[in-house]
Amino acid sequence: MSAPLASLKLRLRRVERARQLRHAVLILPLLLFLGFTFLVPIGTMLWHAVDDPDVARVLPRTVAALHGWNGQALPGEATFAALAADLDDAAREQTTSTAAKRLNYDVAGFRSLLMNTARHLEAEPPAAGDAQATLLAIDPRWGDLESWGAIHRASGPLTDFYLLAALDLHRTADGHIAATPAEQAVYVDVLLRTLEIGFIVTALCLLLGFPTAYLLASLPARQANLFMIFVLLPFWTSLLVRICAWIVLLQGNGLVNGLLLWSGLVDAPLRLIFNRTGVYIAMTHVLLPFMILPLYSSMKAISPAYMRAAASLGAPPWRAFVQIYLPQTLPGIGAGSLLVFILCIGYYITPALVGGGGDQMISYFIAFFTNETVNWGMAAALGTVLLTVTTLLAMAYARLVADRQTTGGLK
Amino acid sequence: MPMPMPMSATETAPRHVAEPDAAPLVRFEDVDKTYDGEQLVVESLNLDIRRGEFLTLLGPSGSGKTTSLMMLAGFETPTSGEIYVDSRPIKNVPPHRRNIGMVFQNYALFPHMTVAENVGFPLRVRNVGRAETAERVARAMAMIKLEALAQRRPSQLSGGQQQRVALARALVFNPQLVLMDEPLGALDKRLREHMQVEIKRLHQSTGVTVVYVTHDQSEALTMSNRIAVFNDGAIQQVAAPDVLYERPANSFVANFIGDNNTLSGQVEQRRGPHCSVRLGGGELVQALVVNPRANGATSLSIRPERVRLLAMRDDPRGDNRLPGRLTELIYLGDHALALLDVAGTTDFMVRLPAGRQAGLACGQDVAVAFAADDCRALDPV
Ligand SMILES: Nc1ncnc2c1ncn2[C@@H]1O[C@H](COP(=O)(O)OP(=O)(O)OP(=O)(O)O)[C@@H](O)[C@H]1O
Ligand SMILES: [Mg+2]
């Protein structure tokens, strides 16, 4: 009994494998395309978040001398001499500023410290065996463990500096992870704010989208198509045009406030734009179709026979809705919510234009580090955090839908 | 006798079809229905459904069967007229309070529930206790012989199994009435015949009243106590299967149920229950008066198995006799079918018992004979 059974399993597996192979061949072009346009950029980003070559390149001898340093006491004369020699070389090759910029991320004021020291050393190089005294004379900060710790931490080739910074953490001179002081911590707040805006916009989209999709799914085809055009209209206008329209509508003397004042509902114009309210309104508008479309398609697939069957079996309308209809829309709710949430937490242009200073989301900071300060490491680290959150969500969703089967009965 | 249906103690006595004069379970009274305000989809429907009977609505596509059923279930409202259940009008009773079980053509099993959850659903919405629900579901699953599949999803069942689950779900809450709209339409022939027997068995063991919709006449004939034949939104005849076949009330029923020969003619003279009818070619035929037009125009209906084939010189012994020419012989195993040109009609069918087709040849001149009582003068087609 068991032998033929085993061979049956074997044959089944062989057939399955052949089928999977066929499927793989069919999607090969897509996989290649995705590889180049999706995986390579993401891989590059992940790499930038941990890549740290600058200091080791500019100050190779110092980095070598600091190897194995425990951070408890000031390094010896040899290390000071190595730094002096490295700075001498760097001055000639004009690479000092590269290392200075990187070290300044970690310790504020390091740029001036390094540039200043390099300038002084150029004027009067230290005598042999006198490097420590010379450097300390140029700037007493060379007597701080923190200064050497920064160089030590930045010796590369990989670093956790950016990733820790993206979570408001840093390493102390002796290598322990510590929280960034509250007055300097920003990114956790930004991440929480991003998630909060994501949740609220998703909830608003669901609240507005569910009844709309329900209406669309229950209308006769002709009317449903007409309404669908209205739903899709936002897709056909440029994002900037839409945002400008919102600014015109929502500003202090805009149409909405005009109506509110005229109707006597409010006495003074409400602040509806350039704050959180504006972000919610504009984002919900932009993302609503992404909620309605999956909901609509899942509702369209629900045969009216189910509701009739439920009624004939004795279920009052609300009960039929909650127990029969709603569960069958869950895949649509899940897909729509996931889509809106992921798009929302990655949105950049809309919050940047209609939000105030306290409404900027994580993507604003990514753009800031890429465009303004050209700090690739920080931009990539924040991107990695965003990617991680998104991936976790997608995985949770996949787990959720794998747990429930949603096809069957009516085909 | 085994009683596989879950039923409360008061209902366990075997029920039988009520006497015709007892108060009907359902009464349609002058029910009209129009969807568009122009065409009556159901027209002055009057129909009594007796307690415990298996009544089939039979008719061609678009004749209003589903519409009638939906009005009874509460998913459509009559444009005029009234429907009574247990002598109470049900116009204002919403579908979920009508206590009518329903089996849909595509089963409509809830895809997100297991088979057991599907069958238990009507009990849960009635707030039946957990233990009793489990017990009644188990009994219902035993009744349809699917105990082993209780934890599957509907999508993991075959069509016939889904059908049985739909049946169990419609019966588990002991409705007094179950409606089935072409429940076997999606099954293949073998399975359909098997399920016909199964449904019939459930009807007999539970005593539930069944209203069944089909456009398959053999299904209707084998399963029903009575059949209501629909055409163009109106009932043509309501009768037991044998009555419908042997004594059709009009030409539509005669032609819709079984094979039928039609001869057109004019009534010349009436004598008691019989009349003489002059056919197009001048032949005179004696027929039973059923409902010829007032001006005498009529269509005669003669079943193929009531016709004998004679050699030209044989004496019909008082029956009608018409000359004809044999055009085709179809061998069907247990019998043979002869097609003839008779009295200006082509394809006049004569059913020959097995073995009797020997010696006949196409093109042969023969005569057909049939009794006046087997020849019904109906409305002209
Ligand atoms: N919702 C509706 N709106 C408009 N007309 C309808 C509707 N439902 C049915 N009809 C029309 O009413 C008539 C009767 O339909 P019904 O569904 O009762 O026929 P049926 O006898 O069940 O036919 P079938 O055997 O094909 O199921 C048809 O002409 C049909 O086009
Ligand atoms: Mg129908």
CA distance A140 to A138: 7
Residues B216 and B190 in one domain: yes
Residues B226 and B353 in one domain: no
Residues A238 and A338 in one domain: yes
Q: Among all ligands shown, which has an atom nearest to the Cα of B230?
A: 1
Q: Which of residues 371-410 of A touch B (CB under 8 A)?
A: 404-410
Residues B297 and B197 in one domain: no
Domain boundary among B252, B269, B285: B252
Chain centroid to CA A291: 20
A312 touches chain B (CB under 8 A): yes
Residues A216/A228, Cβ–Cβ less than 8 Å: yes
CA distance B256 to B260: 9
Residues A33 and A58 in one domain: no
Residues B245 and B264 in one domain: no
Average pLDDT, chain B: 88
Domain harbouring B236, CATH code: 3.40.50.300
Contact B96 A308 (CB under 8 A): no
Beta-strand ranges (E) seen in chain B are 26-34, 40-49, 54-58, 80-85, 88-89, 100-103, 177-181, 209-214, 226-231, 234-239, 261-271, 274-279, 284-289, 297-302, 308-310, 320-331, 335-342, 345-353, 365-370, 376-378
- Which of A20-29, A229-238, B107-116 has the lowest average pLDDT? A229-238
Domain harbouring A315, CATH code: 1.10.3720.10
Kindly state if the Cβ of B35 falls inside 6 Å of ligand 1.
yes
Residues A339 and A252 in one domain: yes
Residues B327 and B180 in one domain: no
pLDDT of amino acid A362:
92
Q: Does B348 fall in a domain? A: yes
Residues B236 and B356 in one domain: no
Q: How many helices (H) and strands (E) does chain B have?
A: 8, 20
3-state secondary structure at position B229: strand
Domain boundary among B252, B275, B299: B252
Domain boundary among B187, B219, B252: B252
Interface confidence (ipTM) of the complex: 0.79
pLDDT of amino acid A409:
33
Residues B365 and B310 in one domain: yes
Residues B163/B187, Cβ–Cβ less than 8 Å: yes
Q: What percent of chain B has pLDDT over 70?
A: 93
Report which of residues B153 and B280 the model is more confident about. Answer: B153
Residues B194 and B338 in one domain: no
Q: Which residues of B touch A301 (CB under 8 A)?
A: none
Residues A147 and A110 in one domain: yes
Residues with CB under 5 A from ligand 2 (ion): B 66
Q: Does A227 fall in a domain? A: yes
Residues B188 and B265 in one domain: no
Q: Write out pLDDT tens, residues B97-106.
A: 999 999 988 8
Residue to substitute in B66, B184, B214, B219 for testing ligand 1 pocket (most ligand atoms within 8 angstroms of CB): B66
Residue to substitute in B32, B33, B34, B35 for testing ligand 1 pocket (most ligand atoms within 8 angstroms of CB): B35
pLDDT of amino acid A410:
35
Q: Does A182 fall in a domain? A: no
Checking if the pLDDT of A326 tops 90, the result is: yes
Which whole number is the average pLDDT over A390-404? 81
CA distance B362 to B366: 10
Residues A258 and A402 in one domain: yes
Q: Does B142 fall in a domain? A: no
A313 vs B156, B169, B179: nearest CB: B169
- Which of A201-210, B168-177, B362-371 has the lowest average pLDDT? B362-371
Give the residue from B272, B298, B295, B294 showing the smallest Cα distance to B285. Answer: B298
Q: Does A10 fall in a domain? A: yes
Q: Does A49 fall in a domain? A: no
Residues A262 and A390 in one domain: yes
Q: Does A181 fall in a domain? A: no
Q: Write out pLDDT tens, residues B35-90.
A: 998 999 999 999 999 999 999 999 999 999 999 999 999 999 999 999 999 999 99
B6 touches chain A (CB under 8 A): no
Domain harbouring B274, CATH code: 2.40.50.100
Chain centroid to CA A157: 25
pLDDT of amino acid B4:
41
CA distance B104 to B181: 6
Residue whose CA lies nearest to ligand 1 atom number 18:
B64
Residues A332/A297, Cβ–Cβ less than 8 Å: yes
**Tally of structural domains, chain A:** 3
Q: How many other C-beta atoms can be found within 10 angstroms of the C-beta atom of residue A70?
A: 10
Residues A140 and A7 in one domain: no
A220 touches chain B (CB under 8 A): no
Residues A140 and A208 in one domain: no
Kindly state if the Cβ of B64 falls inside 6 Å of ligand 1.
yes
Q: Which residues of A touch B111 (CB under 8 A)?
A: 328, 405-410
Distance B112 CA to ligand 2 centre (A): 26
Residues B92 and B203 in one domain: yes
Q: Among all ligands shown, which has an atom nearest to the Cα of B41?
A: 1
Q: Which residues of A touch B164 (CB under 8 A)?
A: none
Which whole number is the average pLDDT over A80-103? 89
Residues B31/B42, Cβ–Cβ less than 8 Å: yes
Kindly state if the Cβ of B236 falls inside 6 Å of ligand 1.
no
Residues B189/B162, Cβ–Cβ less than 8 Å: no
Q: Sign of dihedral through CA atoms B76, B77, B80, B81?
A: positive
pLDDT of amino acid B15:
47
- What's at A162, amino acid-wise? Y
Q: Which residues of B touch A333 (CB under 8 A)?
A: none
Residues A12 and A112 in one domain: no
Q: State the distance between the two ends of chain B, measured CA to CA, in whole angstroms.
A: 49
Peptide bond into A157 cis (omega under 30): yes
Residues A374 and A252 in one domain: yes
Q: Does A133 fall in a domain? A: yes
Q: Does A64 fall in a domain? A: yes
- Which of A12-21, A189-198, A383-392, B348-357 has the lowest average pLDDT? B348-357
**Tally of structural domains, chain B:** 2
Peptide bond into B111 cis (omega under 30): no
Q: Does A136 fall in a domain? A: yes
Residues B189 and B276 in one domain: no
Domain of residue B309 covers 259-378
Residue whose CA lies nearest to ligand 1 atom number 9:
B67
Quote the minimal CA–CA distance from A343 to chain B in Å: 29
Residues A222 and A268 in one domain: yes
Residues B144/B165, Cβ–Cβ less than 8 Å: yes
A304 touches chain B (CB under 8 A): no
| Per-residue confidence band for B159, with pLDDT thresholds at 50, 70 and 90 | confident
Contact B73 A407 (CB under 8 A): no
Report which of residues A49 and B15 the model is more confident about. Answer: A49
Q: Among all ligands shown, which has an atom nearest to the Cα of B57?
A: 1
Q: Which residues of A touch B110 (CB under 8 A)?
A: 306, 309-310, 324, 409
Residues B351 and B286 in one domain: yes
Domain of residue A11 covers 1-38
Kindly state if the Cβ of B75 falls inside 6 Å of ligand 1.
no
